Structure 1
């Protein structure tokens, strides 16, 4: 049996492996006349379920499109690969697209989906003297820079009357942060599901605050800019298929829980917690909308004002406007 530690600590293929793999330029068929659709995924949510079911493979088989998957443990490296042309499509939280846009990466927002603010939190050790957000002052707080956890940390510190300069930030991927948390080398850890749900099951962990009341839980689907421009129908088909998979999964959690548990290696009872948090909806896949765009713009403005982003951003510049192919 695989332990929780080994599964959650296991990394993904990452950017280096993605870029090192032999790639086909989208639209150029190989000798068999097959094009390759390259998708970045993380071990959670509707994209992971679609992968496990072969849903996209079935959808695109008749079009001569083969699906290739690359696994990541967080959004920033996934979008780095996407923007560099090593991937065609992927999903992340709210902050990674901001850094990708600021870096001039070639990507666009194509859709959104709803998560739960209860599915992200700041954890401390059970016996830690940290009892309020203000108590984080001077403490070592781990989160993946440029991830949704970065945003939650900023918002939580503000609520506690602090700024990012008041803590010692430690830029760690979820597996590395988990190891550091268990070793006691960090004081607090900002993280999302399923890592959060697993950590909550640890008797040494205590939730200092969830993201509820701090930030809405917007997550996004993004595509490489050239891919979206050249194959708008494929992008629409991906979103439509993910919506079908998500609605079916959310309507039958008794079947979905064991499937997702096998994907993540996380126990079924813990997996059910992640899928039943307030506001979580696997079937909420939808095109990019005004509310999601407005949220991203406000977040970009805030991060620029704090000096986290190097320049102001106009989110509209990379919001995909589908056109018939």
Structure 2
């Protein structure tokens, strides 16, 4: 695991100060895309947890690796990321557990180039500079892209940048391609008219995950169940009301409503327990990173999966 950033340290200090005022504060790490952002905009989680005596503190992160730094620092209790961040975290001995899963869309993450780029095929990526957030969901898509092109990781030049910096590098021509998820991908499609070279539409997509610190899940299984239950019901509502969801999120996130609706429609929300099949899929992700020498040791995903029969049964019954 990378050294904790100054942001994570300051967040930890802030979180500890809030805990001193109340020992029933739920601290959630979220990203612009995802159901947690919808829950925050709705206030639905607060309404569900207030009768239990809990308040909610929300902390936004640009990507999963930064969120995991906060989990590692015990600055947040619960969060949501793509598939690779927990792989890197487990390899770095972070004390967390997978508590729930969410299917990923096939078209809400992609590798793309400028419209006038000479790159036309995946094979053209050889020797090129590709911007991405290290350890993010895009990192695994990059591995998949290289596999399809019969290229090795050493055949390209990864440029590790968070999304905002990656966009600047892409626009300035400092990189040849950019691989990222929504809303950054949808924004690039809208503003830059980018040309997509690869996404998950021609391959097997992976799951996204809800994670919690191990202590939090062990000490508050009822709370974890309540959060996952709210996520599931909200996700089913979002699937039926993408336009209303976009109207709700856009002003909260400071994004164009049409842009938000575009990425909301690209994801099939369905919060579930972490089943054996999902664990098997996530193990493939972990093995791919180990095989590419991007994590220092082989890990067993199942070791970090939270087991709670009541919560699993509740999610299956909804």
TM-score (norm 1): 0.89
Q: Does 1:38 align with 2:31?
A: no
Which residue of 10, 14, 18 maps to 1:21? Answer: 14
Q: Does 1:106 align with 2:92?
A: no
Contact 2:143/2:288, CA 8 A, preserved across alignment: no
Partner of 1:247: 236
**Structure 2 unaligned blocks of 5 or more:** 1-5, 312-318
Which residue of 206, 215, 239 maps to 1:217? Answer: 206
- 2:101 aligns to what SS in structure 1? strand
- The separation in 2 between residues aligned to 1:20 and 1:127, in whole angstroms, is 47
Q: CA deviation at 1:22?
A: 4.0
1:131-173 Cα offsets, whole Å, 9 max, x none, are 0111011111011110010000111011112111011110000
1:260-311 Cα offsets, whole Å, 9 max, x none, are 222332222222221222xx223x0111112211011111112112211100
- The separation in 2 between residues aligned to 1:324 and 1:112, in whole angstroms, is 16
Partner of 2:118: 129
- 1:287 aligns to what SS in structure 2? coil
Q: Does 1:228 align with 2:217?
A: yes
Superposed, 1:47-66 pairs within 5 Å as 47-66=36-55
- The separation in 2 between residues aligned to 1:203 and 1:296, in whole angstroms, is 33
Contact 2:206/2:282, CA 8 A, preserved across alignment: no
Distance change in 2, residues 1:180/1:105 (3 Å): same
Q: CA deviation at 1:14?
A: 4.6
Superposed, 1:179-218 pairs within 5 Å as 179-218=168-207
Q: CA deviation at 1:50?
A: 0.2
Root mean square deviation of aligned Cα = 1.9
Q: Does 1:312 align with 2:298?
A: yes
- The separation in 2 between residues aligned to 1:51 and 1:81, in whole angstroms, is 19
Distance change in 2, residues 1:107/1:164 (3 Å): same
Q: Does 1:281 align with 2:268?
A: yes
Of Structure 1 and Structure 2, the greater helix share is in 2
Partner of 2:316: none
Distance change in 2, residues 1:24/1:107 (3 Å): farther
- The separation in 1 between residues aligned to 2:150 and 2:295, in whole angstroms, is 21
- 1:113 aligns to what SS in structure 2? strand
Count of matched residue positions in the alignment of Structure 1 and Structure 2: 306
Contact 1:48/1:263, CA 8 A, preserved across alignment: no
- The separation in 2 between residues aligned to 1:254 and 1:136, in whole angstroms, is 37
Distance change in 2, residues 1:217/1:274 (3 Å): farther
Q: Does 1:115 align with 2:108?
A: no
- 2:99 aligns to what SS in structure 1? strand
TM-score (norm 2): 0.91
- 1:118 aligns to what SS in structure 2? coil
Partner of 1:4: none
Which structure 1 residue ranges, 4+ long, deviate > 6 Å from structure 2? none
Contact 1:143/1:191, CA 8 A, preserved across alignment: yes
Which residue of 80, 86, 90 maps to 1:97? Answer: 86
Q: CA deviation at 1:219?
A: 0.3
- 1:56 aligns to what SS in structure 2? helix
Contact 2:188/2:194, CA 8 A, preserved across alignment: yes
